[in-house]
């Protein structure tokens, strides 16, 4: 748009009719502890520190962009979930949120189980020593090779996602002379209050077998008839970034209803139900996530109540938080590059990463916060959009936020709550080198996933 044609610039509201960003909610120097990992704080000079190490030192040693993960926070969250659910329930960490061998060892030490959904995740889990019986294998289109490996290595459960898979897994298990423990994933017709692309329990989508029309009951019939399968329960996962427990209530009620129907038809009470993951975290100060103990109590109350009214023994509950464990424990550190003030609109702040290290903003319209972390500032707040360095105008990291007006190239800024679905969804777009993940704990920092190099890129490109 030509500036001279609009000397005053377009009015903000014309261009961003949704904008209500007249002023930041709080002092930009104050870190909202809700969105930052637990050991994050500012030191006497105003620089952000995590695990006792300043971002300046981290940037110098590990470069930017990079993800810094607060290991003690990660472990504390694992323990909080395990303690909240207690010995009569199982917590499976959803590995797709972020998985590395170090993470697998932490999970193992903290007593959690692990969900995987690909051969690659299974390899990582087994290589780092997770006992196979503590692993659950998910996916709507597991390959025969993946099923073979899951059965051979003795994973604790395979979550069956289609009629074809019921037969496929049964045959493979029989060929190996085992009875594979399985659950059937059902879609309960609940749409979680979240972005359309990440809602998974309404019926018009690829996951699971619908409760509606008796599909799930038919799947149970077939699974029970096959010698290669030991049906241990029913699984339901209703979406992502959910704050309202109402969706889980409906889901639990419908799953228990199915257990009652199974009891009536087959004379057996399945011992387990899995209510999936999807619990929300705070990406911005507006978000108010629940604590694991509140979630555990809500879920166990509803399952107990529904089972009592259906005259069923209460099954063992499992849950699968991914984001709620790893999401808040990490932030992405970027160096500020070019700064482009667009008069009457906002200021575009470019960083040295972008959609290759955080695709969620472009993919889901996700919201993030951002802070100047190499120093504090008393300058006025300015409305910014933090963008990456990729050749794509949708390459946005933080859509709307405030940073101090004296922001300058070379400043370090950080985006909190990037532990989940950022490194695990990272790409090499524009031949970007995927950033490292650095675990920080008690004054020590160590790389757990190293930065990609140009040699890595060339190694795959075989000419
Ligand atoms: C993605 C997924 C999870 C984890 O979701 P979060 O939002 O990270 O908690 C759990 N279970 C299943 C089956 C999933 O597909």
Distance CA 290, CA 312 (A): 29
Question: Catalytic: 78?
Answer: no
Say if CB 356 and CB 430 are below 8 A apart. Answer: yes
What was the pLDDT predicted at 294? 96
Q: From the CA of 218, how far away is ligand 1's center (Å)?
A: 25
Count how many Cα atoms sit within 13 Å of the Cα of residue 401 in the half-sphere of its side chain: 28
What was the pLDDT predicted at 195? 47
**Where in 268-411 does DSSP place strands (E)?**
272-274, 316-319, 330-342, 346-351, 371-372, 381-387, 396-404
Nearest of 311, 309, 236 to residue 278 by alpha carbon: 236
Say if CB 361 and CB 387 are below 8 A apart. Answer: no
Q: Which of 78, 117, 307, 391 is catalytic?
A: 391
What was the pLDDT predicted at 348? 98
The ligand 1 atom nearest the CA atom of 235: 13
What was the pLDDT predicted at 2? 37
The mean pLDDT values, 10 residues at a time, for the chain of 463 residues are: 38 45 78 97 96 98 98 98 97 98 98 98 98 98 98 98 98 98 94 54 81 94 98 95 89 95 98 97 94 96 96 98 98 98 95 98 96 97 97 97 98 98 98 98 98 97 94
Nearest of 363, 367, 366 to residue 429 by alpha carbon: 363
Q: From the CA of 322, how far away is ligand 1's center (Å)?
A: 6
Which residue pairs, CB below 8 angstroms and at least 24 apart, start in 260-265? 260/310, 260/311, 260/312, 261/217, 262/217, 262/220, 263/312, 265/217, 265/221
Domains of the chain: 12-70+328-460 (2.40.37.10), 138-321 (3.20.20.10)
Q: Give pTM, 2 decimals.
A: 0.94
What was the pLDDT predicted at 122? 98
Distances in whole angstroms, Cα of residue 295 to Cα of each of 69, 129, 242:
24, 29, 11
- Please indicate whether residue 419, judged by its CB atom, sits closer than 6 Å to ligand 1: no
């Amino acid at each position: 748009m030509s500036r001279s044609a609009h000397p005053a610039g377009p009015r903000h509201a014309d261009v961003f009719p949704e904008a209500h960003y007249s002023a930041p909610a709080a002092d930009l120097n104050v870190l909202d502890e809700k969105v930052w990992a637990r050991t994050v704080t500012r030191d006497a000079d105003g620089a952000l520190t995590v695990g006792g190490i300043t971002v300046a030192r981290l940037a110098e040693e590990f470069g930017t962009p990079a993800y810094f993960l607060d290991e003690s926070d990660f472990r504390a969250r694992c323990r909080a979930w395990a303690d909240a659910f207690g010995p009569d329930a199982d917590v499976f960490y959803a590995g797709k949120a972020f998985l590395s061998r170090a993470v697998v060892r932490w999970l193992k030490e903290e007593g959690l189980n692990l969900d995987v959904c690909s051969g690659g995740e299974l390899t990582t889990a087994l290589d780092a020593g997770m006992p196979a019986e503590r692993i659950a294998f998910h996916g709507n289109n597991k390959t025969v090779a993946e099923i073979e490996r899951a059965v051979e290595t003795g994973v604790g459960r395979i979550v069956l996602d289609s009629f074809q898979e019921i037969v496929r897994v049964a045959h493979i298990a029989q060929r190996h002379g085992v009875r594979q423990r399985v659950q059937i994933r059902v879609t309960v017709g609940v749409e979680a209050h979240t972005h359309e692309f990440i809602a998974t329990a309404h019926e018009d989508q690829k996951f699971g077998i619908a409760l509606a029309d008796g599909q799930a009951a038919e799947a149970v019939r077939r699974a029970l008839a096959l010698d290669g399968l030991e049906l241990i329960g029913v699984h339901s996962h209703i979406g992502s970034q959910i704050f309202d427990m109402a969706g889980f209530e409906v889901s639990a009620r419908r799953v228990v209803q199915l257990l009652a129907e199974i009891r009536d038809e087959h004379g057996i009470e399945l011992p387990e139900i899995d209510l999936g993951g999807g619990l929300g975290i705070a990406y911005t100060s507006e978000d108010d996530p629940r604590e694991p103990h509140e979630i555990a109590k809500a879920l166990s109350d509803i399952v107990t109540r529904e089972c009592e009214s259906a005259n069923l023994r209460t099954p063992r509950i499992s849950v699968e938080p991914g984001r709620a464990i790893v999401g808040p424990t990490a932030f992405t550190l970027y160096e500020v590059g070019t700064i482009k003030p667009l008069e009457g609109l906002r200021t575009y702040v470019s960083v040295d990463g972008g959609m290759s290290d955080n695709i969620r903003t472009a993919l889901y319209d996700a919201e993030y916060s951002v802070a100047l972390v190499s120093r504090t500032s008393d300058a006025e707040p300015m409305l910014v959009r933090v963008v990456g360095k990729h050749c794509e105008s949708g390459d946005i990291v933080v859509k709307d936020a405030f940073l101090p007006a004296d922001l300058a190239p070379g400043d370090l800024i950080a985006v909190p709550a990037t532990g989940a679905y950022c490194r695990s969804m990272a790409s090499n777009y524009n031949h970007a080198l995927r950033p490292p993940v650095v675990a920080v704990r008690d004054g020590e920092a160590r790389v757990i996933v190293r930065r990609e190099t140009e040699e890595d890129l060339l190694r795959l490109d075989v000419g």
